[in-house]
Amino acid sequence: MMTDLATLLALTGNEVIILAVICLIGGMVRGFSGFALSAMVMASGALIIPPVQLIPICWWLEMTASLFMLRSGWQEANRKVAIGLAIGSTLGVPFGLALTIAIDPELSKLVALGVIIALASLQLARVRIPFLASNWGLYCSGWLAGVVTGLASVGGMVVALYVLAQRAQPRQMRASLVLFLFVGTAAEMISLWSFGVMDKTAVTRGLVMAMPAGLGVVLGKLFFQPKWEHLYKPFCLTLLIALASTGIIRLILKA
């Protein structure tokens, strides 16, 4: 059965198992932190599958996670901000996808991992960019989120920087990220189909990996404890930096 599944997904048996575990853990992180599912999958999975193949898989994972978490996100999020960011993101995704497709797969892995490290470091250091608090900052943040979504499927981390500039409450930030990821992910499908990235194999991989990711989201929500909320984000960001840095080191040694 595993052999048949691996053949269907155009992966080896070990790759299927490793990717499923990564998606499960990424789902758990998304469940209790509200973000970092795609970043976790990209930081760990880029060594197995090129980013251009991981991006459509992450689309299915994000859509699955968003459906599980949309109710709370809709109730607590700043809807105007989330939708404005999604509009900008829709315009930015094609730029990121075009760059990812144009460059060498090995270089695209380094770019994706480098983007994750840079964004996670900025958030961990709680760097505030005043410009992002303006109306122009809203749409520029959305556009940049779209670009990095096309590069590494981590647009939510750019949006987290925007929300940080707004000095929003952690709960509202988490909810706004959830709503943005749902609306932005739905619009992203147009670009993925247009660039030919969302092919039959990508759809099959995404649907299969959505199952462990969905289970992870449910488990993450069960593990969520409000009193530890202030610790979840630093932990996730530190883990992302460590995973992405390890990936870059391995790619450099392999070269």
Q: Using CA atoms, how far apart are residues 44 and 221, in angstroms rounded to an integer? A: 22
Which pLDDT does position 70 carry in this prediction? 67
Q: Judge contact between 92 and 142, C-beta under 8 A.
A: yes
Structure confidence by residue, pLDDT tens digits, 142-155: 999 999 999 988 88
Report whether pLDDT(55) > 90.
yes
Which pLDDT does position 37 carry in this prediction? 84
- Highest mean pLDDT pick, 89-98, 163-172, 244-253: 89-98
Q: Using CA atoms, how far apart are residues 194 and 246, in angstroms rounded to an integer? A: 33
DSSP 69-90: HHHHHHHHS-HHHHHHHHHHHH
Q: Using CA atoms, how far apart are residues 104 and 102, in angstroms rounded to an integer? A: 7
Q: pTM of this prediction?
A: 0.84
- Closest listed residue to residue 139, CA positions, set 77, 80, 79, 84: 84
Instruction: Provide CB contacts within 8 A for 69, sequence distance 6+.
Output: 30, 31, 34, 178, 217, 221
- Closest listed residue to residue 161, CA positions, set 176, 183, 179: 176
Q: Does an H or E element contain 37, and which?
A: helix 37-45
Q: Judge contact between 149 and 83, C-beta under 8 A.
A: no
- Residue ranges per structural domain of the chain: 2-254
